[in-house]
Amino acid sequence: MTSLKDRLKQGRDARKKCPRSSHAALGKTNRDPIPLIKASSEGRVKSLVELRYGRMLVSPFTFYRGNALLQAHDLAGTPNMGLVSPVCGDCHLMNFGGFATPERNLLFSVNDFDEVHPGPWEWDMKRLVASFLVAARDLRHGSSVEETVCHQLVGAYQETMLECAEQSTLETWYESITYDDLRAQASKSTLEHVQRAIEKAERRTHAELLPKISERDKHGRLIIRDDLPEIFHLHNNTTLLDADDDWLRLSDWRPLFDTFMRDYRATLQADRRELLSRFNVQDLAFKVVGVGSVGTRCLVALLTDKQEFPLFLQFKEARRSVLAGYVKAKSRARHEGQRVVDGQRLMQSASDLFLGWTTGPSGRHFYVRQLRDMKVSAELETFDGEAFAAYGRLCGRALARAHAKSSGYAAQISGYIGKGDALADALYKYAQGYTEQNERDFERFQLACRKGRLRARSEADFAADHLP
């Protein structure tokens, strides 16, 4: 058994083959982004790919959020210290936030695991730090805020990883970042943001969501309300599925739901299967989500208990991770939905009560979770420079805890980073360079849309197609 001192030394020794200064390198950026963007759209609902591109066109920041595959390609050409463990794979600042544990406690952590896969921990750090600089420029915070948030984010990761290295295995496994902790530690200027997030999360319940997205049909049955292009029924005249889509060959939504549920129930603990059995399904609709996920299949089921209190379940398509083609390590899970679920359970200190996975009628893989339940994301447009830096520190802490828990290598990572600014300095240079690369890629993307190589449409375009 190796001592803490020995494991810290293993990390320091890794600097010989991978100096911390080497993390300033951008990687394989001598490429045309358009073929990679097209490749990431393969297998998606064709009409919704146009909406995906429309959302990516809004700004360099939405472009960055919308295409993790591009940066995965580039990161494959960067050095790493040689440790491989489950990483988020799409670790940008909007993939962190608050969510409820099964005990109804509100925690803060990484909360999107579509791309989770074994890989170098440095890749998550690079995508996260670069996302803060891309967002800082989008929000016009200025260069001093950019440098401050980068160094404070890396510093928080560094300090938290050392804490984890000195903890017992069980302490690292169980410890979490609660919103009560955030409230106690917040400065006067950031307390308002924390309090607003808590209040918003407490309102984001299934019962509160029900009247917003549902109505009663002529038979008095609760159904989900169409709201194009965000929500639509598969077999109505409002559908945005392609005319030859295999799901349209089904008689209606019930065979699809029944297929989902058959495999899904078996992935839940026995007590949660019993809880699920106390609900009956009322409706199922397609829901367009996010930026990078637009065009992948995501459905929302409305279930109710005997008193008509709701439960919304989200069935989200799980495709091959964007990291899979760029790392030698393989995921142990053969099912992509199980890959997402296993990764989420490993990286979070607590996970959704109904988290599971299933296979659709055409063999597509999905994972399942509750829709919206106390989930809350940062409202970046309300952040001043101090709040933005505080959010960077928070994400750095959360990512360190996720990496320590998923890898078991906290001491080695901490030993490698050390106590100085060497890694922070290198990652700031990386983030500056990659932010500029992202802007160049965005300009090429804009040009491709203007010249018709790619077709982009906005929400308003889709809504106008279905005006009465």
Q: Measured between alpha carbons, how far apart are the two ends of the chain, in Å?
A: 71
Specify the pLDDT at position 467: 62
Q: Give, in degrees to the nearest 5, the angle at Cα 319 between 317 and 323.
A: 140
Alpha helix (H) ranges present in 33-87? 33-41, 46-56, 60-66, 68-75
Under a CB-based contact definition with an 8 Å cutoff, are residues 112 and 90 in contact? yes
Q: Which contiguous run of DSSP H or E holds residue 375?
A: none
Q: What is the pLDDT along the chain (468 residues), one digit of tens a residue?
A: 789 999 999 999 999 999 999 999 999 999 999 999 999 999 999 999 999 999 999 999 999 999 999 999 999 999 999 999 999 999 999 999 999 888 888 999 999 999 999 999 999 999 999 999 999 999 999 999 999 999 999 999 999 999 999 999 999 999 999 998 899 888 887 888 889 888 888 888 888 888 999 999 888 899 999 998 999 999 888 899 999 999 999 989 999 999 999 999 999 999 999 999 999 999 999 999 889 899 999 999 999 999 999 999 999 999 999 999 999 999 999 999 999 999 999 999 899 999 999 999 889 999 999 998 788 898 999 999 999 999 999 999 999 999 999 999 999 999 999 999 999 999 999 999 999 999 999 999 999 999 999 999 988 888 777 665
- Domain spans, the chain: 4-203+378-465, 206-370
pTM over 0.75? The answer is: yes
Specify the pLDDT at position 468: 59
Specify the pLDDT at position 173: 95
Q: What are phi and psi of 441, to 5 degrees?
A: -65, -40
Tokens 């299949």, residue?
A: 297
Rounded Cα distance, 55 and 156, in Å = 32
What is the per-residue pLDDT across 177-215, written as a single tens digit (0 to 9) for each?
999 889 988 888 788 888 988 888 888 888 888 899 999
- DSSP classification of residue 365: E
